[in-house]
Amino acid sequence: MEATDSVGRSLLPRARKTRAILAILALSAPRPVLRLQLTAMLWSQRDRDQARASLRQAVHELQDILGPGHGRLLIADRHHLALRSEGLSVDVLQATHADAAHADHLDLFRHVLLEDLAGLDPAFDRWLEDERRRLLRTARTIAEGFLAEQRDREGQLAAAERLLMIDRTHEGAWRTIMRAHADHGDRAAAINAYERCRATLAEATQVAPSADTDELLARIRAAGPDLPPVTEYGGLHDAPPPPLVLPDRWPNRTGVRLGIPPLRTIGGPAEDELSVGLAEEITTALSRFRGISCVPGIALWNSGLESRPEMISLSHLNMDFVLDGTIQRSGNRVRVTARLLDMRASGAVVWARRFDRPIIDTLTLQDEIGAAIVAQVDPELLMHLGERAANRRQSDPSAQDLVIQAIPAIYRLERSSFHAAGNMLERALAADPNNSVAHAWYAYWHLFLVGQGWAPDPVAATLRAADLAERAVTLDPGDARALTLAGQVRGYLGKRPEEALALHERALSLNPNLALAWCFSGLAQSYAGHHDEAIRQMRQAVVLSPSDPHLFFFNMSLIMPYLMRGDHERAVEIGRQAIELNPWFASSYKGHLSALGHLHRDKEAAETRARLLVLEPGFSVAAAIDRSALGVADDIETYAEGLRLAGLPETSRK
């Protein structure tokens, strides 16, 4: 790590943890970082007061080394630290925004990010490893784009070698090198590239080259020195190309395998820029979700999909799902359709949506439509896989199978199947005690267990939820879903909204397309009394995923901030929507009932109260106050007074 001012004077602090703070702020700039998050990352094994004191000392050191004008760069308030973007240059961030004219900036990734700061704290090490993976993914996507743009041999070789510098197991780059040499008539160099690929894969991943790479080698060897050079797709003379088969294994594959080819243009000129850009945006964003391994557009091109449409037979695509789509332009508007195809069910359409947008600019269009597609595909995949697993009898299911089967029952909240889901998650943990996903979903299950009033011992269930959530984050600190679930446990069950907000902020920085994190973050804002911001964030969850299986939860969450703002009509309207979407979810009735009480709608309140007491016999105003995570006294009183006006008993009558 180096840090210098405009004239080259070193600004690198002496203390390694102060250097780490500078690095965290630089990689986050200009976004502020919570002091609470910094203490958790760098002093995780100290008590809170000692950690805060150590952070204050580190901030003083940073201010001293920046000099009297430190305020021009460093922002330090009670809760946050941040670096202003004006006058700040961070080399690794510049590299992840490199254009074709500055492709050599990617050479920075031949080095390990912040290698000299490793070992400061287990929590910091996890953060650092996650940042390395995140930045490498971005750099790899940029390098893949540069490779796709190359048309001449020298450009292809240079771009492929640069991509291999970032990801040496990238078989698409290896095959590009093999093809480039073969097209030039240099069979020996092409075969040598294959041997380099084979040795690299064996060393890095302990796997052999894929079927595509082996097939390309066979075609190169069969060509012979006196035959025409092998083309990109290996055809000799007029012989038909062999069947297209994508690799059975991709490096570091986990969970479902999802192929994302470039979108097709309907009518009019080809929308190459939007087609390729949107596919890459979706690939990058979906890669942030645990359990989804994306096969990007560049890999599909290198497998021949781009120029061999006749080979795109659904039965030939050796992957679990394919996300395909079309683009159609009319005047100043564009229509994008997307479909999720289940390749294990003969290409059945699992999900399909249409997105109509005005044409502003290509990047804005990519961001908006890509975010919407990504946010909706993740929950659809989870529900579809869960339903399919439930219908498939297995004598010895894996931990992953058990988690997948449990998810639909958690969403439905029907009591008997919900408890069966809890048993499945318990079995998943027994089968794989280090499964972070199982820990995260089991923590979520406990949230509903307590919220529904189904926990025989709410205190024990709350502690169990906290343990599970913390363990999930420890096992995989880069899992955005686990982080936001841990935040909801702290905010709702632990009644510590400030700590919850730090975790939600981290989750959203890792995956801004995770609708559940926006909803949970909005809940924490509401608990803290920031109801306008709560509504904004909850609305973002609905905008991202308007057909989400969690939509009943998103609507339920919106009831309280509208209730606290005095907009009782809106709270009642949203409450009705939430109840219609899931009549089993008791929490939707509570805020709805309070709003009806404030409006003095006695008949409707009586009906709602009766339905609530069927779901939670003995629920009372006292229980509502005790269980509420609202942190502002006036808000709690507003909630409780509405329940009283609606006729809810003050204490349990059981």
Q: CA of 129: how far to CAs of 41, 117, 122, 124, 125, in Å?
A: 13, 11, 11, 9, 6
Q: What is the pLDDT of residue 268?
A: 61
pLDDT at residue 59 tops 80: yes
Question: Residue 55's pLDDT band (boundaries 50, 70, 90)?
Answer: very high
Rounded Cα gap, residues 134 and 131, in angstroms? 5
Across 151-155, 283-287, 482-486, 646-650, least confident range: 283-287
Rounded Cα gap, residues 121 and 474, in angstroms? 13
Residues 538 and 522: beta-carbon distance below 8 Å:
yes
pLDDT digits (tens, 9 = 90+) for 517-567: 999 999 999 999 999 999 999 999 998 888 787 889 999 999 999 999 999
Residue intervals in the chain for CATH 3.40.50.10070: 256-387
pLDDT digits (tens, 9 = 90+) for 337-355: 989 888 877 677 888 888 8
Q: What is the pLDDT of residue 308?
A: 37
Average pLDDT over residues 188-198: 91
pLDDT at residue 104 tops 80: no
Q: Which amino acid is at 395?
A: S
Q: What is the pLDDT of residue 243?
A: 35
Question: Residue 54's pLDDT band (boundaries 50, 70, 90)?
Answer: very high
Q: What is the pLDDT of residue 87?
A: 85
For domain 393-535, the CATH class is mainly alpha
Between 412 and 645, the higher pLDDT residue: 645
Closest of 521, 489, 529, 518 to residue 502, by C-alpha: 521
Residues 379 and 545: beta-carbon distance below 8 Å:
yes
Q: What is the pLDDT of residue 366?
A: 80
Rounded Cα gap, residues 273 and 327, in angstroms? 11
Residue intervals in the chain for CATH 1.25.40.10: 393-535, 549-654
Query: What DSSP string runs through 533-589?
Result: HHHHHHHHHHHH-TT-TTHHHHHHHHHHHHHHTT-HHHHHHHHHHHHHH-TT-HHHH
Across 163-167, 365-369, 573-577, least confident range: 365-369
pLDDT digits (tens, 9 = 90+) for 215-253: 889 888 887 554 344 443 333 233 333 333 333 333 333
Q: What is the pLDDT of residue 633?
A: 94
Q: CA of 502: how far to CAs of 127, 273, 534, in Å?
A: 14, 37, 15
Domain boundaries 16-131, corresponding CATH code: 1.10.10.10
Question: Residue 98's pLDDT band (boundaries 50, 70, 90)?
Answer: low
Across 12-21, 256-265, 588-597, least confident range: 256-265
Structure tokens at 363: 């990047």
Structure tokens at 217: 């080698």
- The whole-chain average pLDDT of the chain stands at 83
Between 205 and 633, the higher pLDDT residue: 633
For domain 256-387, the CATH class is alpha beta
Tell me whether strands 256-259 and 292-295 are parallel, antiparallel or unpaired. parallel
pTM of model > 0.75: no
Between 109 and 314, the higher pLDDT residue: 109
Helices (H), 392-548: 399-412, 415-431, 436-451, 458-475, 480-488, 497-510, 515-527, 531-544
Query: What DSSP string runs through 103-137?
Result: GGGGGGGGSPTTGGGTTS-HHHHHHHHHHHHHHHH
Q: What is the pLDDT of residue 520?
A: 95
One of 3.30.70.20, 1.10.1240.10, 1.25.40.10, 3.40.50.1460 is the CATH number of 549-654, namely 1.25.40.10
Question: Residue 653's pLDDT band (boundaries 50, 70, 90)?
Answer: low
Surface-to-core class of residue 612, CB atoms within 10 Å of its CB (0-12 exposed, 13-18 middle, 19+ buried): buried
- In the chain, count of helices (H) and strands (E)? 26, 9
pLDDT at residue 129 tops 70: yes
Question: Residue 394's pLDDT band (boundaries 50, 70, 90)?
Answer: low
Query: What DSSP string runs through 302-357?
Result: HTTTTT-GGG--GGG--SSEEEEEEEEEETTEEEEEEEEEEGGGTTEEEEEEEEEE
Mention every residue, 6+ apart, whose C-beta is less than 8 A from residue 445: 406, 410, 418, 421, 422, 425
Residues 105 and 112: beta-carbon distance below 8 Å:
no
pLDDT digits (tens, 9 = 90+) for 424-434: 999 999 999 98
pLDDT at residue 576 tops 80: yes
Average pLDDT over residues 392-400: 74
pLDDT at residue 360 tops 80: no
pLDDT at residue 291 tops 70: no
